[in-house]
Structure 1
Amino acid sequence: MNSYFVTATGTDTGKTFCTAGLLRANPSLRAIKPLLSGYSPEHDEGSDPGLLLAAMGQAVTSEAIAAVTPWRYQAPLSPDMAAAQEGQSIDYEALIGFCRVELAKGPTLIEGAGGAAVPLTGVKLTADWIADLNLQVLLVSGTYLGSISHCITTAEFLLRRGISIHAILLNESTDAPVSTEETQAALARYLPCRMFIVKRNAAPEDFKGLEL
């Protein structure tokens, strides 16, 4: 089993849902979400790191949240903007160093914040973060109207940067205009990538089919 970076075509596509599902389906796997904006300390259990901790069978405590997600900002903005609102900036080298330490502990999923082109600093995007860690990507996409264009655009952006896509996870949207299988067939005409369908409210066992 390998380590992967979980990114997406945009925000609210289901990265944490898919990451948690993969964790429950693969107990030897672990996960971190180093950066989080839109964080509310009073809602730790329902937060992204809280959901990841629960999926790993760990107690959701403030210490555990800090270990999984060291960089937390309250404003629901891109990480660079959210940090700036608190008078801070993201130390990119520290972020990379933290991830490398965690990756050395065993197969790890690193969940990003937002989409693949989200700014982290004045010069670094999430795609730079992925490339500097030399990880393959699990790309999460919805199946809403417009998702085909968003998925193709994001996948080609990553591939042009030399970032390998292990699989595209098609997370069925509640307002999907066509079946997920139809979306998969449309994407397959343009993208040379493995695709994995995640049905709405998929159970942990449904994620076992994705080879990691």
Structure 2
Amino acid sequence: MFRRRTNHTLTSIFEPSWEGLKRGEHCLRYATRQYTARLSDGLAGTDMIKACKDTPVAIHGELLYTDFCQDLGFNRGVWGYWIVDFNEPDCETRWGEFTDLVCLQILFRLEQKRIAARLENLRKGDDWQFMCVTTPADIDGQYYSTPAECFNQGRWGVYGSWNLHDNSCDSQQDGVVQAAISALTQRA
């Protein structure tokens, strides 16, 4: 007997194949989810870990080989695990509206502005820290692979913040310096 695979090649029923392919309930990180399946038993003497590594499965129409295999022992079988980082829209968190917070003083100069945004499309049960640090942002045409900081504000949500160079902070510095000089000269 033979059965068809998605790539249109015939395989013997005696060759191991994947059973019960299941997608993970939660996202691992931005746009990424884990899938698992049990490898059907092959002929006696088959190296099942090798078969696990050599047997592809179709996920989202693509044939993929396992990222890792695990032998759970007698009667529990060999399991394959795939980390899928494409066609997982439920795992695509995004940043809401960016809000200017404050100019930061670095070595006595105001040269960076801190901005923040709320993480959107974060699903209940997903690890907020992993989702936050792996969600990229495009801020004023500049790509950032990760925020500088992530923080969980409870019922108000998860936020990321970025420290950006901003010339307007330098002009604020000039105003602060002029005000300080004026205050000092008036005291004298």
Determine if the TM-score, normalized by the shorter chain, exceeds 0.5: no
TM-score in terms of structure 1 length: 0.23
More helix by share: 1
Q: Whose Rg is larger? A: 2
Give the TM-score taking structure 2 as reference length. Answer: 0.25
